Amino acid sequence: MQCATEESTRQTRRFPRILLPNGMRVSWHGADLELHARVKTLGMGGLLISVSEPPTVGTKLRLAFEVPGGSVRAEAIVRDIVASEGIGVEFTQMEVRDKLLLQRLLNRLLRCDF
């Protein structure tokens, strides 16, 4: 696996994002849907999720995904639809334990320590 951060044309990013070439599974519930998909990029602020039929911008979602050490659960909102890529979601609520698990994973990936 290669260590890769995503360079963004947006200067407003609060957190670095990690490209996940092999993806990571995420379950999400919202807009009367319950689906499983792959995460393309990962960050403390949110995810880019690969979906063929995206929910509309503003849709609230409940997410769950596995990381080393446990399962991360979060509430999020669809902020962007990226053509042929998926949906950009922003985390809106996450328990402290989930934030710690996610931060540990991101620290590890940013150091390329795998």
Higher-confidence position of 17 and 49:
49
How far apart are the C-alpha atoms of 114 and 105, rounded to whole Å?
Answer: 10
pLDDT of residue 30: 86
Q: Model confidence over 17-33: pLDDT tens digits?
A: 888 878 889 998 887 87
Q: Could you tell me the sign of the dihedral formed by the alpha carbons of 94, 98, 102, 104, in that order?
A: positive
- Asked whether the predicted pLDDT for residue 44 surpasses 90, the reply is yes
Q: How large is the average pLDDT for residues 89-104? A: 96
Q: Model confidence over 57-93: pLDDT tens digits?
A: 999 999 999 998 999 999 999 999 998 889 999 999 9
How far apart are the C-alpha atoms of 8 and 72, rounded to whole Å?
Answer: 25
| Domains recognised in the chain with CATH numbers | 17-111 (2.40.10.220)
